[in-house]
Structure 1
Amino acid sequence: MSDWLPETPRTPDFPPTWGHLPRPSGSEGVTLAGADWLATAASRPDELHALWARQPAAPSVLPCGTAFDVINAPALFGRRMVDRLWSDGPGSGPVAAHRGRLLLFAAPGTAQRLPALLVWEEWAAAVPPLLCHGTGDAVTVPPLHPHPGTGTAGARPAYTDTPSAYGVPAAPPADPADLTSPGTSRWLVAPDVREPWLPGPDILLWACVRAARPTAGMQREAAAQPPVSALAQG
């Protein structure tokens, strides 16, 4: 299983990667189509759009389990997962950095199945703790647009159907090292269509194994080495 990649269509190519992480073409902002998709997670999408219109630079809390699940990984491990997905796999769905962790948006049902698959394949011990958010859970996602104070109070922001939405320049990409900062909250792969492709549990299992394999190999190698005291006595 660890070398097996489920057959799935590759998502459309993005431009060259930034810091080993894919980024949408020229922007970290969410398009109108992407915002419409995010809003489908809420029981009342119109109220969510109204909230975004009033506070376009504020994070949002969205329920999981209907439109998407979210796999919440430590930033550096999540970065390796996304890198594997884009370098050797089918790409990823939307990805966000929030408070030192990476949020990988996945197909509904993934949060329940991925932990069981990791145990079944005997990789659970090699993977750092993952928070799997599904039905009954909610996650905080970054603002639709990275610039604070860009909307007009009481009016919906100037959405467009291009990645550089809202009629203002996009923020420059952050240093990849900033992903581990507790204050970081930004989209790395922003939602840009109304029906984004989302990886399922099999694909994320593959990405977890690929991301964990180098560390697991070093741990096994270190365990096989004789203690330093034994070497000194010899």
Structure 2
Amino acid sequence: MDIWTQQSVEYVSVAGEAWLASASEYPRSMRALWEARPWAPSVLPCGRAFDVISMPSLFGRRVLDELWASGPGCGPVAAYRGRTLLFVQPGAAPRLRRLLAWEEWARDVPPLLCHGKGDAVTVPPVQRMAHGPDSPSRGTGRWIVAPEEREPWLPGASVVLWACVRAAAREPGAGVPAEPVLVTGG
């Protein structure tokens, strides 16, 4: 199944909702909020249950394709405001940031936003209302891979680094020097 051409919207399971709520300092309050407004996006802190790697959506698609085609797959993934949000192990964000700065071949990887402890991210609604274009959930992002388990598998920094480098290498023109320009004078 191609996760990109799916017409139905992913919904967060009850177990996945519990996992997301565990990121909050007040999980019961978060679940009460979702009970009252399941179509509303939420802001959750990183560093406790997960970190998040935010990348441009097209590059994010290539990274996810790499993770699924030749790697271990991935845990929850969201799309929000033109970005792909990859949920990763707590502590992976600062480590990935350091690895990308250190590795010479990571220069082909577009800038990633690595959200870890002390950061917060906006996550899509746990459910969507199936209404028209004026629905309150319109434009609030969506789950590409919705949280389904109480303890989902989350990739670590080295797995994400590997997928990013492979995705960047498969980008048309990556690693190919530019053609020399001949200038003729008059």
Same fold (TM over 0.5): yes
Paired residue for 2:21, among 39, 62, 67?
A: 39
Amino acid of the structure 2 residue aligned with 1:218: G
Question: CA separation in 2, counterparts of 1:112 and 1:41?
Answer: 18
Question: CA separation in 1, counterparts of 2:9 and 2:55?
Answer: 23
Q: Does 1:17 align with 2:2?
A: yes
Paired residue for 2:176, among 209, 215, 221?
A: 221
| Aligned match of 1:127 | 109
Q: Report Cα offsets for 1:181-212 as digits up to 9, x if no partner.
A: xx360000000010000000000000110111
- 1:50-89 matches, within 5 Å, as 50-89=32-71
Cα RMSD (Å) of the superposition?
A: 2.3
Amino acid of the structure 2 residue aligned with 1:135: K
C-alpha deviation, 1:226, in angstroms: 2.0
TM-score, normalized by length of structure 2?
0.88
2:183 aligned counterpart, secondary structure = helix
1:229 aligned counterpart, secondary structure = coil
1:144 aligned counterpart, secondary structure = coil
Q: Report Cα offsets for 1:150-188 as digits up to 9, x if no partner.
A: xxxxxxxxxxxxxxxxxxxxxxxxxxxxxxxxx360000
Larger radius of gyration: 1
Unaligned runs of 5+ in 1: 1-15, 150-182
C-alpha deviation, 1:33, in angstroms: 0.4
Question: CA separation in 1, counterparts of 2:87 and 2:158?
Answer: 14
The answer to whether the 8 Å contact 2:24/2:44 transfers is yes
1:82 aligned counterpart, secondary structure = helix
Q: Report Cα offsets for 1:79-122 as digits up to 9, x if no partner.
A: 11001000110000100000010100000011110011122221
Question: CA separation in 2, counterparts of 1:42 and 1:90?
Answer: 27
TM-score, normalized by length of structure 1?
0.71
Q: Does 1:189 align with 2:145?
A: yes
Structure 1 segments, 4+ long, off by >4 Å, are none
The answer to whether the 8 Å contact 1:56/1:148 transfers is no
Question: CA separation in 2, counterparts of 1:41 and 1:117?
Answer: 25
Question: CA separation in 1, counterparts of 2:65 and 2:175?
Answer: 24
The answer to whether the 8 Å contact 2:21/2:27 transfers is yes
Unaligned runs of 5+ in 2: 132-138
Q: Does 1:98 align with 2:80?
A: yes
Q: Alpha carbons of 1:218 and 1:107: their partners in 2 closer, same or farther (altered >3 Å)?
A: same
